[in-house]
Structure 1
Amino acid sequence: MILAFHVGDFAAVAIIVIIIGCSIGGMVKFFKAIKVLKKGPPEGDPKIAAEQEQEFQNHEQDD
């Protein structure tokens, strides 16, 4: 009977540790995402952007 209490306590502690670990991991990912968003969009190649815009215009005309 006492062993059952120890196993139950272990399970409860393990679940709490997993929940806390996932919460901390989620916060770390969130702060990394905010850091990336604050930097703004990456610099693009104007030549590639012009090609993509031209393709978009061509597809718009086809429709």
Structure 2
Amino acid sequence: MNTSELRQKDAAGLTAEIKDLQKAHFNLRMQKATQQLNNTAQLRQTRRAIARAKTILNEQAAKKA
């Protein structure tokens, strides 16, 4: 999901997106630990997606305050 799609979501939508990304990241970490993960770059992509969503959520909160 790119930034323009994330910016269109409200705070509840962003929170749900962060939660889903964190679950996905956890599952990828477990796959890596059991040596079932083929594409380790997915870990980096999900970690950065989480950071991107959190940044946009914080920007929206700062704009309201």
TM-score computed with the length of structure 2 as normaliser: 0.42
The structure with higher relative contact order (CA 8 Å, sep 6+) is 2
Give me the TM-score of the superposition, normalised by structure 1.
0.43
Larger Cα Rg: Structure 1 or Structure 2?
1
Q: Greater helix share, 1 or 2?
A: 1
